[in-house]
Structure 1
Amino acid sequence: MWPELLLCCSEPVGQNPIVLPDDRGKAVGVMSKALQHFIKKAQADGVVAGAIGLGGTGGTSLLSTPFSGQTEPYVKTSDLVLFPSIVDICVINNVSRVVLSNAGAAFAGMVIGRLERFQESCNEGKKGTVGITMYGVTTLCVNVVNERLKKEGYETLIFHATGVGGKAMQSLVLEGYIQGVLDITTAEVADYVVGGVVPCDSSCFDVIIEKKIPFVLSVRALDMVTFGLKHTVPTNFQQRNIHIHNAQILLMRTTVDKNKKFAGFIADKLNNLQQRSVFACHKRVFQHWMLQESPSMILRLLPTGTLLNELQRLIQINEDRQVKMYPYHINDPEFATALVDSFMEICS
């Protein structure tokens, strides 16, 4: 039975037959890979609505005694639900019966909800789902973009650019839930390059490149790097220009040299895009009221100006990869309108 099952579920590897090792640990590894391949294929084919697993440390995915501890490495950016079994599940008793029943009922409810949402989406006839990144400093822009996209018939998903937010968006792009992206807030790149607490990783933008979905990029919030409490700021940064955002978050101003590195990282990624894309550049760094309240803010123009100039220099423009310059601040409603116009254009 096992050879036939593994052959059916496993990803083909050359001409060698799939063999289940005698060693238990190695055998579990082979079975786990076969299960992953089967579930991915079944999901792609639209024949699976959910997955539930139970067992010990050798085969646990969802319900087990060990999962009462650290769960972040397993959950990551997914909506995986974990039920600690409280007692061992080798036998059914008055405790395990309740735990298993609750897990089963929750699973059934999630599957029914998913099927109902699928039916609703088919009936609504929406154009697709668009992922948008946001920070406090881009909220005004994102609000206008969000409302406009909804009026145009799109569903929108807004992600706070706090490291896990960007990774969650990329995960949903990979899984096919998102069909277009407006990356308005690229703060995670700054934290990745400098060493802040809300970074992306080296694979940032790679899923968008792989999936070839419509992509509009702007670059706001690269003028700051995020740290936690004061003791989390590295010693070599202690004398830098640091702003207290709140009791838990400190923001450090970025330098000209680092902005050049941000531009290099982003441009390298954009130059690998094969789909239609737009880099939308907002030429005004500050709104008029900011300069009126604090004229010294003009001194902060140089790093951001360097970033924008470097991006224009490094991005390789072609028929599908465009750079558009706008005489607005990112939170001006005219700029938000221009972002959506660009997105609609590359989707047409």
Structure 2
Amino acid sequence: MWPELLLCYSESVGQSPIVLPDDRGKAVGVMSKALQHFIKKAQADGVVAGAIGLGGTGGTSLLSTPFRSLPLGVPNIIVLFPSIVDICVINNVSRVVLSNAGAAFAGMVIGRLERLQESCNEGKKGTLGITMYGVTTPCVNVVNERLKKEGYETLIFHATGVGGKAMESLVREGYIQGVLDITTTEVADYVVGGVVPCDSSCFDVIIEKKIPFVLSVRALDMVTFGLKHTVPTNFQQRNIHIHNAQISLTRTTVDENKKFAGFIADKLNNLQQRSVFACHKLKGVSALDASGKPFYDPEATGTLLNELQRLIQINEDRQVKMYPYHINDPEFANALVDSFMAIC
């Protein structure tokens, strides 16, 4: 099988037929890349029910990266059963060990196929992704409960960089059929340089998949850092709020909010599906951005909202809605759900 895999891989990268190096370590690296290419292609063609492999340290090294490219839920096993004897031939000892591994794998594959069939028959409205941060929790709790009552399954992701990426990964794999991105603080950390950033591809998979999308600019009043002494020198003179012993938050500036608006508007203007950008009228974008709270700054928040309204290109499918509520008011949470229901 390896000659076919190597030929397929060489054609995909536009090279002449690849010959395995004599060096074993380098050969394992080439084989791993070829297998990863094959698995991705087979998965895209819909012919992979699972993947199983066995071996010692070399086999584990070869298999681990290709297997990680499989979507969440696709069974994949690297056999770590003690082989007792060498497995160069099948005998009455190795047969028992390998049969156990094969039976476990077969059970996982059958179980997954049955779950997929059950899912097709359930007739649920779908699964939605929601982003949350500590300072937006009251809003998200109301949204979550309301959506459940409406018949949706919800997955809540903590907007800590990896949380947003995890949500987008599940969107890409088809596990999520709609998104309410209520907490966009990862954009602030990406633009300014905090410790919980998104990356330049933020929102791209939502645009690509054309799923219903409601966006709200929550928690863009802050950039996240670690312990207070780790906050960069150029931020030390800012308004710093100690969220807990491990997390320090710094208030974002007027100029930074202009940049946030530009980044978000550029993405939203590429949306081709029905979408809603929902915001408020200077009532605050987090629990800290309210009258009497440490990050209350109407000028910075106003700049963000005004720039977004100016830059977002409104059309029949792309709407901007303004509400006279604070982010954590129940009325705003219900307005988000109403907006989502209207575009589904």
TM-score normalised according to structure 1 size:
0.77
How far residue 117 of structure 1 moved from its aligned partner, in angstroms, is 3.2
Comparing 212-221 with 320-329, greater Cα deviation is found at 320-329
Deviations 1:67-89 (A, max 9, x none): 9xxxxx999xxxx9999999999
Deviations 1:179-212 (A, max 9, x none): 1111000011111111111111111111111222
* Contact map agreement 1:226 1:249 (CA 8 A) in 2: yes
How far residue 95 of structure 1 moved from its aligned partner, in angstroms, is 14
Name the CA shift for 1:259/1:212 in 2 (closer, same or farther; >3 Å). same
How far residue 51 of structure 1 moved from its aligned partner, in angstroms, is 2.5
How far residue 163 of structure 1 moved from its aligned partner, in angstroms, is 0.7
In the alignment, does 2:18 pair up with 1:18? yes
* Contact map agreement 2:31 2:62 (CA 8 A) in 1: no
* Contact map agreement 2:251 2:295 (CA 8 A) in 1: no
* Contact map agreement 2:128 2:178 (CA 8 A) in 1: yes
Comparing 326-335 with 170-179, greater Cα deviation is found at 326-335
How far residue 60 of structure 1 moved from its aligned partner, in angstroms, is 3.4
* Contact map agreement 2:280 2:327 (CA 8 A) in 1: yes
How far residue 37 of structure 1 moved from its aligned partner, in angstroms, is 3.6
* Contact map agreement 2:221 2:295 (CA 8 A) in 1: no
* Contact map agreement 1:62 1:81 (CA 8 A) in 2: no
Comparing 54-63 with 171-180, greater Cα deviation is found at 54-63
* Contact map agreement 1:11 1:34 (CA 8 A) in 2: no
Structure 2, unaligned stretches of length 5 or more?
A: 68-74, 282-287
How far residue 346 of structure 1 moved from its aligned partner, in angstroms, is 1.8
Name the CA shift for 1:61/1:207 in 2 (closer, same or farther; >3 Å). farther
What is the DSSP-based 3-state SS (H/G/I as helix, E as strand, rest coil) of the residue aligned with 1:53?
strand
* Contact map agreement 1:173 1:207 (CA 8 A) in 2: yes
In 2: Cα distance, 1:14 partner to 1:292 partner: 54
Comparing 162-171 with 102-111, greater Cα deviation is found at 102-111
2:299 to 298, 302, 315: 302
Name the CA shift for 1:31/1:142 in 2 (closer, same or farther; >3 Å). same
In 2: Cα distance, 1:65 partner to 1:95 partner: 30
Deviations 1:295-347 (A, max 9, x none): 47695221111111110111111222111111122222222222122222222
2:257 to 252, 256, 259: 259
Name the CA shift for 1:293/1:65 in 2 (closer, same or farther; >3 Å). closer
In 1: Cα distance, 2:190 partner to 2:171 partner: 21
Q: Which residue of structure 1 lines up, in the alignment, with residue 62 of structure 2?
A: 62
Comparing 314-323 with 32-41, greater Cα deviation is found at 32-41
* Contact map agreement 1:54 1:60 (CA 8 A) in 2: yes
Q: Which residue of structure 2 lines up, in the alignment, with residue 336 of structure 1?
A: 333
* Contact map agreement 1:10 1:33 (CA 8 A) in 2: no
How far residue 44 of structure 1 moved from its aligned partner, in angstroms, is 3.9
* Contact map agreement 2:279 2:323 (CA 8 A) in 1: yes
Name the CA shift for 1:90/1:239 in 2 (closer, same or farther; >3 Å). farther
Name the count of aligned residue pairs. 331
What is the DSSP-based 3-state SS (H/G/I as helix, E as strand, rest coil) of the residue aligned with 1:21?
coil
CA RMSD of aligned residues (A): 4.5
TM-score normalised according to structure 2 size:
0.78
Deviations 1:162-186 (A, max 9, x none): 1110010111111111111110000
How many percent identity over aligned positions?
92
How far residue 253 of structure 1 moved from its aligned partner, in angstroms, is 0.9
Name the CA shift for 1:2/1:136 in 2 (closer, same or farther; >3 Å). closer
What is the DSSP-based 3-state SS (H/G/I as helix, E as strand, rest coil) of the residue aligned with 1:245?
strand
* Contact map agreement 1:20 1:27 (CA 8 A) in 2: yes
